[in-house]
Structure 1
Amino acid sequence: MTNTLSACTSILIGKQASIDGSIMIGRNEDAKAAWPKHMVVHQRGELGKRFISKETKLELVLPGESARYTATPEWTDRDGLFEEDGINEYDVAMSATESAYSNQLVLGYDPHVEHGLNEEAMITVVLPFVKTAREGVQRLGDLIAKYGSGETNGVLFADNDEAWYFENGSGHYWVAQRIPDDSYAVVANQLAIQEVDFNDPENFMFHPTIREFVEENHLNPNPAGFNFRQIFGTADRADAVYSEPRVWIGHQLFSPRSSQAEQPESADLPFIVKPDRRLSIFDAQRYLSNHFSGTPYDPLGSGPLSHRFRPISLAKTQESHILQTGRQTGANIHWLAMRVTAESTYVPFFNGITDVPAPYKRGKLPAQLNSAYWIFKHASVLVDSHPHDFLPLLEDVQKERNAAAIKFIKETDQALANYHGSARASFLTQQSENFATDTMNAYKKLTLELITKMTDYSPLNFTTDENL
């Protein structure tokens, strides 16, 4: 995956904007249609004292003992780890990255750095070493300011109290904004942060000399303010087709009253938005599974606009995750959907687990059907062959698993008071494994049903006269 950006979609939801008071940050990791992902739990101290990036060759001395954390690395580390997302033992969640783009003027003064810190290594060198979301923002910002980055990226952070969105707009310069508790944000491959208030440290963090850099190089087109998106980002035709419609559909789903005047190709859609109602985990999942259904832009439709815009859920999604914090300590949830989000199911893993089921640690090329990635992928490929006939069967499985997930979480939460220390970790690990196994079995059963139904779709069929 060297020099290949993951073209993702992200969502962040504050605790007062959610229906249960939890915080949710989530993202689709989009890169290749057939490129397996694994899930792992790194144990405390596992990372050692030094890190060397296989992609950029950056060498770092790690700051002490690493914490336990969940992650979803590539099936091969040939080009790097790309761990992408996880929750550590201190209940800090991180998702990296939302690929974005900087304008040529900015990159002329602060170019990307060949041997800097890229997406490939961000989770690995940040998440295991921080105890709050703010610490995560600061550590990542300090590393990029010192070593630079070869990419423009957005990074999501959360803990039990707040969520943050971080963006580096060039080789070294960055800002981060706290998501207000009563609001949400959706991001789609663009720099998203708008006006930065340098006098509000509770809600903004930034490179210490970013204002001087912008002023000295005459980068601000509107000096009356400091709009990070305008100064560092892009606003071209590619954005209008590729990025902005995905932000638009999020606003239509969650804030239809205030977003009626918005258009799919609007270049000035707001970053921070208040929802018309409180949002649940299934609202976050529904956004990350969206393909413009119910609009003329749905690629499953047949109208002239059906492939006009890039959908949120698409074939190149490797995995999708929602990291839910603000719950019981050690019982925050790493929701993980392997493969195409619209055709998969989010499986809840508690962050207090010490291991994951074996199929989640397997998966390579070519396909192997003892891998969670390929189990979900197998079902989705079969559904794609006849979507109008097979989607209802898939949706029945998704609905059953979604309801089962809520019941499972409620029962596990209630039982947690009876477990402490290592017994608590063992209980959470076994509970998570049981639910994940049940979900994989449901998809295996669906696959067999689909294969059975497909047997009569052969072009070698012939309608025989009933008299013969």
Structure 2
Amino acid sequence: MNYSACTSILIGKGATVDGSTIIGRNEDSRSAWPKHMVVHPHRTFTQPQEFRSKDNGFTMPLPLEAAKYTATPEWTDQYGLFEEDGINEYGVAMSATESTYSNDRVLGADPLVKDGIGEEAMVTVVLPYVKTAREGVKRLGQLIETYGTNESNGILFSDQDEAWYLETGAGHYWVAQRIPDNGYAVISNQMAIERVNFQDSDNFMWATHLQEFVTENHLVRHQTTDFNWRDTFGTQDASDLYYNTPRVWYGQKLFNPQIDQEPQSFNLPFIRYADRLLSVDDAQFYLSSHYQQTPYDPVGTGSETDKKKFRPVSLAKTQESHVLQIRPEFEPGLAGIHWLAMGVAAESTYVPFFAGITTTPAEYQLGQKDYDSKSAYWIFKHASILVDAHYNTFLPDLEAVQKELRIAFKQEVKHVDEVAKHLHGTELADFLTAESAAGALAALKAYQNLAGLLITKATDLSPLNYTQDMNL
């Protein structure tokens, strides 16, 4: 399988309206490849534990204690688990991975490791074993140095205080940068991190002997006093111009419209500072976007050439989209919200699951490769496909349901906050589980009703219709 396409966003706590850290990503692979939403309980073992990948044979020992965490695994583990995203009981969020590409010079010096750690294993072997975002970066970095990695990736971490982005650039080398509290970053299948300050361990982390590796293998292409990770390890080719850089351009256009940039520029910065405070709504809008209000919107009014020119952020091959919000002040179970949109984000809705839940509705744990009317993934996908068939005609109906649910979910979060701040322990967990389930099931009901409405309307849109001219 080829997991080569995602789009990510990270926002620091000082850049948001409520002091939350926010990380999010679209998981893009296939047009019909279901995901589940699960909760792994806290576990303590007495016998040695081992992770063994069904994907590439990667094997490593695991600690005897694992924290509770949410996750969105594949419908099958035949190709690996691909748990992808989640929040653990300590309030650490993780999303893995943003597929990136290393250049030939770097891979010639340190090739990828066939049985090294890859995307399908990362959440599973890291998230249950860390208590801060910084610990997550360190653990994953150590695993990459020890076992190697079989692909180039970007990985997102956050907690109440920090958001971090880690990139792997070769078989054993990596670097990570803390997103400034007042900054944000959008990434699209390219090496993103630029200048690395090796004197600033508060805001950067890196692989052991990274500088020596670059020097000894003559990997620097431009004479400068700065260490530029993107320039040294990344690519700049024609595919970037059409597939990658336009998505970064659009994200920065949304949050910094006053800055004049070109969608095919190789010089778009990694870190930007928005012209306003951002919210979960902004992150969700970006991840569900397709170049609205530009000539490049594939369902817009531009020329046929422009509409097909660039790869959009949200597209048919999105399996799920998530925004992981860690809010200030609350305890971890209430502070964390795992916002999940099953299927194509542009045509789905972001459902809030509080991090303190103990399980998810059965419908969110169902779904195989073939259509299943009881599966949450397929319920959202079904409505999406019906909209696609008559997009301009049915779009208003879809948008009405999406707006209704967005408002309902805001009311739900406000209600939960007011009640849950007085609850603790099992009582809190039960309340969060019940409220999250109620919202999740309400979303399914709304999309089932939408599908029924669209099917009814579609009966009059057949090409076999005939209107008689009464003057004949």
Task: State the TM-score, normalizing by the size of structure 1.
Answer: 0.98
- Corresponding residue for 2:228? 227
Q: How does 1:4-153 map to 2 (within 5 A)?
A: 4-45=2-43, 49-153=49-153
Is the CA contact 2:10–2:23 (under 8 Å) kept in the aligned structure 1? yes
Per-residue CA deviation, residues 298-355 of structure 1 (Å, 9 max, x unaligned), is 1113513111000000000000000001342211100000000100000000000000
**Shift in CA distance, 46/188, structure 1 to aligned 2, threshold 3 Å:** farther
Residues 121-142 of structure 1 deviation map (CA, whole Å, 9 limit, x = unaligned)? 0000000000000000000000
* Cα distance in 1, alignment partners of residues 227 and 362 from structure 2: 49
Equivalent residues in 2 for 1:208-357, closer than 5 Å:
208-222=208-222, 223-257=224-258, 259-260=259-260, 262-301=261-300, 303=303, 304-327=305-328, 328-329=330-331, 330-331=333-334, 332-357=336-361
Matches of 2:442 and 2:234, distance apart in 1:
44
- Report if the CA contact (8 A) 1:161-1:326 is conserved: no
Q: Secondary structure at the match of 1:245?
A: helix
Cα pair 1:26 1:321 within 8 Å, conserved: yes
CA distance in 1, matches of 2:144, 2:108: 18
Q: How does 1:168-187 map to 2 (within 5 A)?
A: 168-187=168-187
What is the letter of the counterpart of residue 204 of structure 2?
F
Q: Does 1:370 align with 2:374?
A: yes
- Residue 46 (structure 1) shift: 7.2
Q: Indicate which of 352, 361, 364 corresponds to 1:360.
A: 364
Q: In structure 2, what is the Cα distance between the partners aligned to 1:96 and 1:401?
A: 27
Give, in angstroms, the shift of residue 59 of structure 1. Answer: 1.3
- Secondary structure at 1:457's aligned position in 2? coil
TM-score (norm: length of structure 2): 0.97
1:447 pairs, out of 443, 446, 451, with 451
> SS of the residue aligned with 1:310?
coil
Q: Deviations over 1:209-265 (max 9, x none)?
A: 0000000011011342100000000011111111000000011100112x21x1000
Asked if 1:385 corresponds to 2:389, the answer is: yes
Q: Secondary structure at the match of 1:35?
A: coil
Q: How many Å separate the matches in 2 of 1:241 and 1:287?
A: 18
Secondary structure of 1:243's counterpart equals helix
Structure 1 unaligned regions, length at least 5: none
CA contact (8 A) 2:4 2:189 kept: no
- Contact residue 69 and residue 89 of structure 2 kept, 8 A: yes
The total of aligned residue pairs comes to 464
Q: Which moved more, 1:429-438 or 1:298-307?
A: 298-307
Measure the CA separation in 2 of the matches of 1:21 and 1:314: 30
**SS of alignment partner, residue 305 of structure 1:** helix
Letter in 1 for 2:365: K
Distance in 1 separating the partners of 2:4 and 2:322: 14
Deviation at 1:367, TM superposition (A): 0.5
Q: How far is 1:464 from its partner?
A: 2.4
Distance across 1 between alignment mates of 2:56 and 2:268: 34
Counterpart code for 2:235: T
- Aligned-partner residue type, residue 156 of structure 2: L
Q: Is the 8 A contact 1:219 1:231 kept in 2?
A: yes
CA-to-partner distance for each residue in 1:45-68, whole Å, 9 max, x for gaps?
178711101111111110231100
1:424 aligns with 2:449: no
Contact 2:25 2:321 in 1 (8 A): yes
Q: Could you say what secondary structure the match of 1:394 adopts?
A: helix
Q: What SS does the aligned partner of 1:409 have?
A: helix
Contact (CA 8 Å) 2:52, 2:58: kept in 1 or not?
yes
Shift of residue 418, structure 1, vs aligned partner: 3.0
The secondary structure found in structure 1 opposite 2:270 is coil
Contact 1:363 1:372 in 2 (8 A): yes
Using the alignment, how far apart are the partners of 2:126 and 2:470 within structure 1? 70
1:219, 1:77 → 2: CA distance? 38
Whole-Å Cα distance in 1 between the matches of residues 186 and 102 of structure 2? 19
Q: CA deviation at 1:462?
A: 1.1
Measure how far apart 1:358 and its partner are: 0.5
Alpha-carbon distance between aligned partners in 1 of 2:285 and 2:44, rounded to the nearest angstrom? 35
Post-superposition Cα deviations, 1:39-91, rounded to whole Å, max 9, x if no partner, equal 00001117871110111111111023110000000000011100000000000
Look up the equivalent residue of 1:126 and give its one-letter code.
V
Identity %: 59
Q: Superposed, which structure 2 residues align to 1:193-204 within 5 Å? A: 193-204=193-204
Q: How does 1:428-439 map to 2 (within 5 A)?
A: 428-439=432-443
Q: Does 1:399 align with 2:403?
A: yes
For 2:349 and 2:33, the matched residues in 1 are separated by 18
* Aligned residue number for residue 207 of structure 2: 207
Which stretches of structure 1, 4 residues or longer, exceed 2 Å deviation after superposition? 464-468
Segments of structure 2 that go 5 or more residues without pairing to the other structure are none
Do the aligned partners of 1:6 and 1:29 also contact (CA within 8 Å) in 2?
no
CA RMSD, Structure 1 to Structure 2 (Å):
1.2
Asked if structure 2 preserves the Cα contact closer than 8 Å seen for 1:144 and 1:172, the reply is yes
Quick one: distance in 2 between partners of 1:454 and 1:241?
A: 35
Matches of 1:417 and 1:34 in 2, distance apart? 40
- Read off the aligned partner of 2:216 and give its amino acid letter: E
**Whole-angstrom CA distance in 2 between matches of 1:46 and 1:32:** 36
